[in-house]
Amino acid sequence: MSKGTGSFGESGGASVRSSSAGAGGPPRRPVRPFLFPRLEKVPRSQLELVRRLEWMLPDGMLTGEVGESVKQGLHRVFDDDVVLWLDYVHALPPRSLRKIMGDPTFLGVIAPAPHGPRGLVELDLVLAHSIIDLLLGAPGESAVARPLTEIEQGVLSYVLLETFKAFSPGAAEPGRHRLRLERVVGSIDEGLALFEEETTVAVVELKVLIGAAATGYLRLHLPASAIHAAVPPENSPYRRSRRLTRLRGNIHRLSQLRIPVRAEIGRAELTGGDIAALRSGDVMLVDELTTRSDKGENGRAHLRIGAGRAGKIEASLELVDGTYKAKIEKVVLGEDAPRVAADAPLPEPLPPADTKPPPPVPEYTLPPKGARPPSEEEEVFRDTAITDLAEQLSSGKRGWGGDRTTVTKPDEDMQADAADLLNDVPLQVAVELGRVPITAEELVSLHIGRVLDLGRAPGEPVDLSVNGKIVARGELVEIEGQLGVRIVGMAE
């Protein structure tokens, strides 16, 4: 397949052609991609580092919203209101830290964990003198940035120790440690020696305002190895309580969101091809069924929210006043989740077989070496050829070699091959007795003993869903001792 060299503009992007104009339409006009050359490039490793960093810092600090417990702790230290807000977070190689550190400055060694890697805390000298004046009642020297005396370093060490106490939990929690100030270092070189074996250091700069006068910055220099070690286990009490605190703090934003709670009473596994071929009247055998709703019997159900991959709610089913009620008994996280992949696509209907073939592709070959540059008209022709060739390839036709011989396959055969591929995709089909729409606020308030009205009477049809999406409706039947669902209707 011949390939053009492409013409590049000042932005560095190749000229492309709009593919909206068909054969016989208006002439196509040159289109250049819009690029963003000045955007900051953020590596994925930095995003992962920041995500892990949040477990080492007080909740909300990376979003600029420090909790009330931290504010109260800092107020006790300074006897005045303290405002902290995040200025930036960067991941840098250790050799770049010297460029951003002040000289002279206050540097202390901090220990995120008792026997793990160490980090640094850096305090703006102007802020440091303001804090000392505030605590000792001396005349203000906030404009002076002279080196600190040993007595002044001792005062700041006490202030930082109390500040880290405010940052940390009141009691020891499994999987989380308090930040501790170990000692003060005398020079930048002594501080940077801690990072000799590190590849990345996260720099967290916080703007600090104490009362109405003392202002400056505080930086935390935390090596990646210490950040990774500080992440608590997934099932730790601290991680769960922090997740719940965040949820309660943001639940008002989701108060109007309606979330379906699905009551599953059975499960079966089919391939994508089987589901695509389902028609009214077909019967699907069920691997397990926890309730015979066709006979009005009581039983059990698994309540699932969303895709249901995080876990389930075990509930008992009772027939009350002609409809089924689900009583919550137990919440199970991470167990017996549906086996369907999060991104497993549902089968799409095949396009009709009489789809019109794409227009013929204009022929184009590379110019011989040393030939003159193409004219503007030739450039337009070349770009159009490339665009049309891409359209042809996307429709299943390919050209090979310089002789431009095209190898094609009938559309019907291509569609049949694609349909055969669905037979290798196993999907979990859930049998749902009913769905209950609740708000996010109601979801958080669910507790053991809560009763949900499913609004489904005995003998009513059940729903068949894949990954939470209803694909069909059916009725329970018994086939020679095995339970199944007869399809009575397909979802649109």
Residue type, 160: L
- Please indicate, yes or no, if residue 306 is contained in any of the structural domains: yes
Whether residues 356 and 331 share a domain: the answer is: no
Residue 222: give its domain's CATH number. Answer: 3.40.1550.10
Element (H, E) at 400: strand 398-400
| Longest distance between any two alpha carbons in the chain, whole Å | 95
**pLDDT tens figures, 367-391:** 444 444 444 444 443 444 444 434 4
**pLDDT tens figures, 284-338:** 888 888 989 988 999 999 999 877 777 889 999 999 989 999 999 988 877 554 4
Whether the bond between 237 and the residue before it is cis, its omega within 30 degrees of 0, is: no
Degrees to nearest 5, angle at CA 391 with 389 and 393:
70
Which of 197, 230, 263 is a domain's end point? 230
**pLDDT tens figures, 427-485:** 889 999 999 888 887 887 888 889 999 989 998 999 999 888 899 999 999 888 888 99
Parent domain of 297 = 255-335+425-490
Whether residues 331 and 349 share a domain: the answer is: no
* pLDDT score of 33 more than 90: no
198 or 178: which leads in pLDDT? 198
What are the beta bridge partners of residue 475? 486
Element (H, E) at 406: strand 405-407
* pLDDT score of 15 more than 70: no
Query: Mapping DSSP to helix (H, G, I), strand (E, B) and coil, where does residue 133 land?
Result: helix
- Please indicate, yes or no, if residue 51 is contained in any of the structural domains: no
Count of structural domains, the chain: 3
Whether residues 19 and 134 share a domain: the answer is: no
* pLDDT score of 82 more than 70: yes
Q: What is the pLDDT of residue 159?
A: 86
Residue type, 363: E
Average pLDDT score over residue span 329-356: 50
DSSP string, 418-463: HHHHGGG-EEEEEEEEEEEEEEHHHHHT--TT-EEE----TT--EE
Whether residues 116 and 195 share a domain: the answer is: yes
Whether residues 65 and 195 share a domain: the answer is: yes
Burial group, residue 95, by CB count within 10 angstroms (0-12, 13-18, 19+): exposed
Answering whether pTM is above 0.85, one says no
Handedness of CA 12, 14, 17, 19 (dihedral sign): negative
* pLDDT score of 140 more than 80: no
Whether residues 350 and 327 share a domain: the answer is: no
Share of the chain above pLDDT 70, in %: 71
Pair 20, 382: CB distance under 8 Å? no
Query: Mapping DSSP to helix (H, G, I), strand (E, B) and coil, where does residue 78 land?
Result: helix
Whether residues 105 and 196 share a domain: the answer is: yes
